[in-house]
Structure 1
Amino acid sequence: MKKIFIYTLFALLVVGCKDSQEKPTESGLLGSNFHSIRENGKETNLYVLRNANNMEVCVTNFGGRIVSIMVPDKDGKMQDVVLGFDCIEDYINKPTDFGATIGRYANRINKGKFSLDGQDYQLPTNNYGHCLHGGPKGYQYQVFDAKQNGPQELVLTYFSKDGEENFPGNLHCKVVMTLTDDNAIDIRYEAETDKPTIVNMTNHSYFNLDGDARSNSEHLLTVKADDYTPVDETFMTTGEVVPVENTPMDFRRATLVGERIDEAFTQLRNGGGYDHNWVLNTKGDVTQVCASLESPKTGIVLDVYTNEPGIQVYAGNFLDGTLKGKKGITYNKRASVCLETQKYPDTPNKPEWPSAVLRPGEKYMSQCIFKFSVRR
């Protein structure tokens, strides 16, 4: 009996030693903290991408989420520039959109209702009476199948069944994340359906280029857009497209995010700050920068490119200090900026806007590039 006890104790010590020697990522994450088996039998894990410049991007297949992005600042120090959690349990137990792949339809659909080819659909309503980000069981809460093709590419796939969250059509989705050697994260979305449906996917990373996730107020924001789509008190687009000229919505020149965010302007009151879709001047040209975010503190610059017609800028107005993220950092109100490239909100109910309809035989293709550099 004594001998068995000694062997057991030795085995436990070996296991403990192995765990304690697990090498963390550049951002301090442990892969073991992201391994779990969900009720559907699917496994969650952490995947690490690294390029020739030692830039690092960590992704979990739970919700197709970017967990951390490590980039050099103006002094060469590596900074983690996105909000997130240290373990999979927090992502599961503290519902957020941190870093997530959003689908089937990003942003809001009015009262969760739309019609397609004469058929009416009622989606779940989970935000001020509207359907937000695909409903309460959107893709951000699903486990993707993952395949890492070398150190710089991750392929995520998800099969969304006909009727999932009441969306029509079996949808085969693919998200390819590539970390390039010019310090860009190239995200490509693809989808195919067997029945007419609507698709609008995006990435919901919360960026803070200061690296400390304290405030976005001193970040410089540029959005190449002459117009935006106003919202009502429930954050739903009114159907109008109005000029940004002479309003706090004008970011055609680099402007501090916090400079005008609390002005007595109806749209800022309705959105609780910035939480609006801008109509991009780039008109789907993925070779042009459509928006930029810069931290004067670290010198880190984020340029965004997309083939989509719009970008939702959300300034973290609903963060309230109740969530603690990586390294125990408290995420207070407006601790970040989200730059979500997508179709306009509620496009299915506004036929004059760019269509989100996908039909059998067609392929949905959307691209977003987050490119990082440094201004010294």
Structure 2
Amino acid sequence: MLTGTEALAPDGQPWRITTLRNAAGMVVTFMDWGATWLSARVPMKDGTVREALLGCATPSDYLHQTAYLGATVGRYANRIAQARISVNGATVQLAANQGEHQLHGGPEGFNARRWQILSQSAQEVVYQLDSPAGDQGFPGRLLATVTYSLAEDNTLSIAYHATVDEACPVNLTNHAYFNLDAEHGDARQHTLRLNADRYLPVDSDGIPGAALKSVANTSFDFRQPKRVAQNFLQDDDQRAVKGYDHAFLLSSREQPAAELCSADGKLKLTVFTEAPALQFYSGNYLAGTPAREQGVYTAFQGIALESEFLPDSPNHPEWPQPTCWLGPGESFQSVTRYCLTAV
């Protein structure tokens, strides 16, 4: 139980926890700090309930982890090389937080903020964040909303919306880690399918260093379901980042972007998204992250499937995807749906 200062967020105010439920018995929880997805408890066929997400034991534990567990990340999810973008021909220096690069919006990104609860009901909660001009180095003011909605078929939808008053790259996503097994063992035993023909090679910092590459005849070919462990660390592109931590350019928005299945085959996650790419991360650096149960997580104990633009997109207009740049009078809108099905 939280006592004293642990019961309060860094701004001195209480954590605000929201719980959504549906008639099927699924329960999902969130907190306003980071607009964070804390938990997804799914009723199983045998009458048990299975937790599908990694998470911490208490809200304050989320302050002592760097894995972005379940957080909403922005302004720009993933990496921006050298923490620099060009606006109207001028170089803009952003706040760096991964060596010389920026990761997930900077050292005080959206994951580290109190989001305002605009509204909530039994099956929906809406969060809003007002990001001022110059926030983490980004130009202009940005107003973002994130809407979590739980449907009766155990689909959790995340709708992102943002506006700006100056041109700025925008890339919002959620950084949930999934482990669909009852005991939350090594998530590399999960079976994964990705609806993607190409992936983006990166260097050891996660920065793109080459053009998009076909998945054909590589360990990155998940067009047919296979265990994540099957070809793990079998090539240089994986070894550079100690596993999978790569963006896949999605082939179709009409089909599921990804399908993940537990090792025992009893729980399945289907991901639909309007985003152009999905970052598949095999939890290579999860070791030491505070766990929901006692102790800490180990590496590879969770899988992240982040819907987003390709990393460093502000500096790569040549890539075959919609622009990540948002201007005044325009709006960023994207919906990702995570459907959890007991089999």
Relative to the length of structure 2, the TM-score reads 0.95
| Matching residue within 257, 270, 275 for 1:308 | 275
Which residue in the other structure is 2:90 paired with?
A: 119
For the pair 1:369 / 2:314, whether they are aligned, the reply is no
| Matching residue within 219, 222, 229 for 1:248 | 219
Moved over 4 A (4+): 32-35
Greater Cα offset, 176-185 or 231-240: 231-240
For the pair 1:139 / 2:110, whether they are aligned, the reply is yes
Does the C-alpha gap of structure 1 residues 109 and 336 become closer, same or farther in structure 2, counting only changes over 3 Å? same
Report the secondary structure of 1:339's partner residue.
strand
Report the secondary structure of 1:303's partner residue.
strand
Which residue in the other structure is 2:68 paired with?
A: 97
For the pair 1:360 / 2:328, whether they are aligned, the reply is yes
CA drift of 1:94 comes to 3.1
Which residue in the other structure is 2:121 paired with?
A: 150
Report the secondary structure of 2:238's partner residue.
helix
Give, as a single letter, the amino acid of the residue that structure 1 aligns with 2:292.
K
Aligned sequence identity (%)? 34
Does the C-alpha gap of structure 1 residues 232 and 95 become closer, same or farther in structure 2, counting only changes over 3 Å? closer
Structure 1: how far apart are the matches of 2:9 and 2:286? 29
Instruction: Determine if contact 2:67/2:289 at 8 Å carries over to the other structure.
Output: no
Structure 2: how far apart are the matches of 1:35 and 1:178? 27
For the pair 1:350 / 2:321, whether they are aligned, the reply is no
Please identify the structure whose Cα radius of gyration is greater. 1
Structure 1: how far apart are the matches of 2:281 and 2:26? 25
CA drift of 1:127 comes to 1.7
Q: Deviations over 1:224-261 (max 9, x none)?
A: 11111111222111240110001100000111011111
CA RMSD between the two structures: 1.8
Structure 1: how far apart are the matches of 2:57 and 2:119? 21
Structure with greater helix percent: 1
Structure 2: how far apart are the matches of 1:124 and 1:358? 19
Instruction: Determine if contact 1:213/1:329 at 8 Å carries over to the other structure.
Output: no
Instruction: Determine if contact 1:74/1:298 at 8 Å carries over to the other structure.
Output: no
CA drift of 1:130 comes to 1.1
Give, as a single letter, the amino acid of the residue that structure 2 aligns with 1:61.
D
CA drift of 1:43 comes to 4.2
For the pair 1:341 / 2:307, whether they are aligned, the reply is yes
| Matching residue within 152, 157, 161 for 2:132 | 161
| Matching residue within 279, 286, 290 for 1:324 | 290
CA drift of 1:113 comes to 0.7
CA drift of 1:270 comes to 1.0
CA drift of 1:131 comes to 0.5
Report the secondary structure of 1:111's partner residue.
helix
CA drift of 1:33 comes to 11
Structure 2: how far apart are the matches of 1:351 and 1:115? 11
CA drift of 1:207 comes to 0.3
Does the C-alpha gap of structure 1 residues 273 and 144 become closer, same or farther in structure 2, counting only changes over 3 Å? same
Which residue in the other structure is 1:12 paired with?
A: none
Greater Cα offset, 158-167 or 345-354: 345-354
Which residue in the other structure is 1:36 paired with?
A: 8
CA drift of 1:327 comes to 2.1
Q: Deviations over 1:89-142 (max 9, x none)?
A: 111233430000010000000110110222311112222421100011100111
Structure 1: how far apart are the matches of 2:69 and 2:290? 12
Number of aligned residue pairs: give it. 340
Relative to the length of structure 1, the TM-score reads 0.87
Which consecutive unaligned segments of at least 5 residues does structure 1 have?
Answer: 1-18, 20-29
